[in-house]
Structure 1
């Protein structure tokens, strides 16, 4: 082990950059759908050794002295995000004649940008570096802080946060409800990087002891949380139907197919329940599943009323238009409608957190002059964002908190959910990305939102993965990727809300400060 560590530490040039990129790419195998948990132990061990050797030339300026540490992290991040996000390129092939040219910007440009977060993390860690376990503390705190920043800087994109690798199954998800994703991420990096101490020996015993205690606490708390008595079932029971139509994205964009697509959704909604189950009270369709502007197509509401039986409610994703004023083009919103059995829209909510370049163009005037347009917005000007999340109150009083598409990957998006909320509702369309890791990664991240909030999650995707999930992250029932059909399931009861997010965030920041303090003390002791 010491010989291997020495070779990695002394590596240089292209070999060093390639090793860092390979280590980052390897770490992604711990994310969905693979969950090969051993890979980040290898990746972060290599990263520690690479940072050990990231020293600038004596007498060089401040920037040149720090640049090697930054580059190690940048190459590691580039490998991580390239291997974890390559599937984004599939979306550019749906309308290849218009967007295929931009594919490299997504599959190379985005990872190159996101890699800066990891580059700055390793740079910060190197400032507190030492020869012992203190450097593991520095790396954990630095990655925790920059993963947290990745969640909201430049609109945020916390996809595949490192902490998700430590929570592949419900047993290991419960810590998220107690301390939050960013604290889990910080502690996960510490544990993943601990084997690096075998290569240098210094600090091995205390570092390994802390790592073992953290793993034991992670598993032990999960067993305790899952072993608690489940909350009493809802009375009356609320049967829900998830409709997963599996409509090819190219077909969804074809105007001639809209009528047929609508009828496919209605047919799945009207089908008789299986196994003698009661008829669903709530039917849920995916994001943008209604292929019309409802206010311009009243016949569509009539058809919905024809299919819904008395007391049934349809929740469906749709594009909503709004008059912007005289002489101005309409505004369009990516919305969720609640429609009753008389075909009346009784509640609606608009998406707040839009996808840059997908649903709207940043710096729109400038980029339009260059001939660019939003990828997933078929209407002129793209979508507009709502000012705030709006809970959906159903007939009968149940309250659902809607999260449209990738809003479910943002832990902080759910902080505004009122205490009266009965369930989270995530409608999405992952059909853009085909049979790739993307839909599975999206599902896994949404699954954690249920654990964090103590609320059941209703998730409906055009092509999958659709499911109802308990507040403990357990899948009650669902449909796998590309499984066309529906599933009827009863809504689980919510649980007591876990530790409030503000307290989790304070604890996370205090924890990072303590880790950096330990790293600083360790640095001085080895000086």
Structure 2
């Protein structure tokens, strides 16, 4: 195979990967994946038949992955436009982040290059390898499991009910498997195999859809009427969330959107990063504001910057606090999963000398919290606190928590403007709701705030760049989901069984 042809195929794979990104929200053109993934796998087989170099297989996967991530994560660069000191990093974010993520696709292909064959066994091997490396992408180097291809199914509530049983990573494995199914019938075109593959695909898709429909129809909920929830979305300009004067003005805006009945038990949820100048211990200075607008029946959840002195060092935490009507902190959670470069600088001592700082306001990096436990409210209710993108980690939410009734996710997606980023972030929350079988209360500054039911239905939401509030009563799923009990052990077991199945099939074919 000539260098010219190889270069053409790499370029073609870049385009295929980019095209596949349009299967994700908000576009959800899922049908493209059956073309892109099948062609991707076909070209891997073609390189094997042409006896390409081992390194070529890495770049096959890398090219597809780079196109996919460059097209679906370009919006990350928007967060660098708020600070003139960081604008020079915009090309690095657009070009560099996809490089790091595409390495996992390249590694997934090169890991199985010796097993490549144009048969269904290799289809299974490919799906196993890519799903494993996608899992590794979510846990290594702080982890970034954003935009697994299984999120393509987010357009259909019925199709994602299976998450209650298998979770997102296992769903991702099966998604790769069916998206790639036409690889062995593309060239030369084999109509018989296309019909067989289509028949299999039809059975699988219809079965999963009907299964989801039955689950939704038969799901029973318990209405919880004792406490009212109010989600607030203030739509404050990001640049005006920093500074003491802004903090006072923003607090008044939040309170004005939080009008509640003083005799009704209510939990008010404000977004991430709404209080950044005042130490949570000193919030009593806002006691008059709180006393005037809230009663003993009210609690406020809000994201704050939380400094803590340890010896001669001051650690800063991105925290969620619960405040009573005297503006006193009654509970606090320090964020564990921090965004690299957004909330902390890796190798800070070295990179700070070059003038690099985190994207969020303030110079010092945030520190990571030590534990995540459920927070109890009004004696008989508890929630799991998650800040920003902590919601994306399938199977890694509970940490030290024992049991909780619902999840509160506060975020600041205003960093990403009117891009596709906030839509993708909301979709991650939908998947977590289905997996865990609990409602999710989501408050963001500029959108998209939402109340998500335990089966993933968005009951109510607020649009991007609009202020407002959502009043709601919680309802809970009767019982627990299988995934909430076993979490990613289901993925490990599925991959283990699949590997055993592959070994058995290869041995059978060899003996046969």
What TM-score bracket applies, with the shorter chain setting the length?
A: over 0.9
CA contact (8 A) 1:468 1:491 kept: no
Q: Quote the residue 1:340 is aligned against.
A: 324
What is the rounded CA distance, in whole Å, between the counterparts of 2:511 and 2:216 in structure 1? 43
The Cα offsets for residues 107-156 of structure 1, whole Å up to 9 and x where unpaired, read as: 11010110011111122343322122223212211111111111101110
CA contact (8 A) 2:164 2:435 kept: yes
What is the rounded CA distance, in whole Å, between the counterparts of 1:143 and 1:515 in structure 2? 17
Does residue 299 of structure 1 match 2:285?
A: yes
Q: Quote the residue 2:352 is aligned against.
A: 368
Q: Quote the residue 2:382 is aligned against.
A: 399
Does residue 264 of structure 1 match 2:242?
A: no
Secondary structure of residue in 2 paired with 1:493: strand
Counterpart of 2:222 (choices 222, 232, 247) is: 232
Q: CA deviation at 1:502?
A: 4.8
CA contact (8 A) 2:372 2:401 kept: no
Taking structure 2 as the reference length, the TM-score comes to: 0.92
What is the rounded CA distance, in whole Å, between the counterparts of 2:325 and 2:124 in structure 1? 58
Segment drifting more, 64-73 vs 79-88? 64-73
What is the rounded CA distance, in whole Å, between the counterparts of 1:55 and 1:504 in structure 2? 33
Counterpart of 1:92 (choices 80, 91, 94) is: 80
What is the rounded CA distance, in whole Å, between the counterparts of 2:351 and 2:508 in structure 1? 50
Q: Quote the residue 2:27 is aligned against.
A: 34
Q: Quote the residue 1:445 is aligned against.
A: 428
Secondary structure of residue in 1 paired with 2:461: strand
What is the rounded CA distance, in whole Å, between the counterparts of 1:207 and 1:145 in structure 2? 24
Q: CA deviation at 1:195?
A: 2.2
Does residue 454 of structure 1 match 2:437?
A: yes
What is the rounded CA distance, in whole Å, between the counterparts of 2:504 and 2:422 in structure 1? 40
Secondary structure of residue in 2 paired with 1:171: coil
Does residue 311 of structure 1 match 2:311?
A: no
CA contact (8 A) 2:25 2:154 kept: no
Q: Quote the residue 1:212 is aligned against.
A: 202
Secondary structure of residue in 2 paired with 1:153: coil
Does residue 490 of structure 1 match 2:479?
A: no
Q: Which runs of 5+ in 1 are unaligned?
A: 1-7, 59-63
Q: CA deviation at 1:471?
A: 1.0
Q: How does 1:127-526 map to 2 (within 5 A)?
A: 127-200=114-187, 201=190, 207-234=197-224, 236-270=225-259, 281-291=266-276, 292-325=278-311, 328-376=312-360, 378-416=361-399, 418-499=401-482, 500-514=486-500, 516-517=502-503, 520=506
Measured at CA, do residues 156 and 519 of structure 1 come closer, stay the same or move farther in structure 2, by a change above 3 Å?
farther
Q: CA deviation at 1:74?
A: 0.1
Aligned residues: 505
RMSD of aligned Cα (Å): 2.6
Q: Quote the residue 1:123 is aligned against.
A: 110
Q: Which runs of 5+ in 2 are unaligned?
A: none
Measured at CA, do residues 10 and 52 of structure 1 come closer, stay the same or move farther in structure 2, by a change above 3 Å?
farther
Q: How does 1:39-54 map to 2 (within 5 A)?
A: 39-54=32-47
Q: CA deviation at 1:196?
A: 2.3
The Cα offsets for residues 211-241 of structure 1, whole Å up to 9 and x where unpaired, read as: 334323321221121111422212x442110
Secondary structure of residue in 2 paired with 1:412: coil
Segment drifting more, 139-148 vs 304-313? 304-313
What is the rounded CA distance, in whole Å, between the counterparts of 1:167 and 1:462 in structure 2? 23
CA contact (8 A) 2:13 2:67 kept: yes
The Cα offsets for residues 38-62 of structure 1, whole Å up to 9 and x where unpaired, read as: 111121022012212224976xxxx
The Cα offsets for residues 374-430 of structure 1, whole Å up to 9 and x where unpaired, read as: 111x33422111111122111333111001000000013213364530101110000
Measured at CA, do residues 129 and 283 of structure 1 come closer, stay the same or move farther in structure 2, by a change above 3 Å?
same
Q: CA deviation at 1:449?
A: 0.6
Q: Quote the residue 1:4 is aligned against.
A: none
Q: CA deviation at 1:207?
A: 4.7
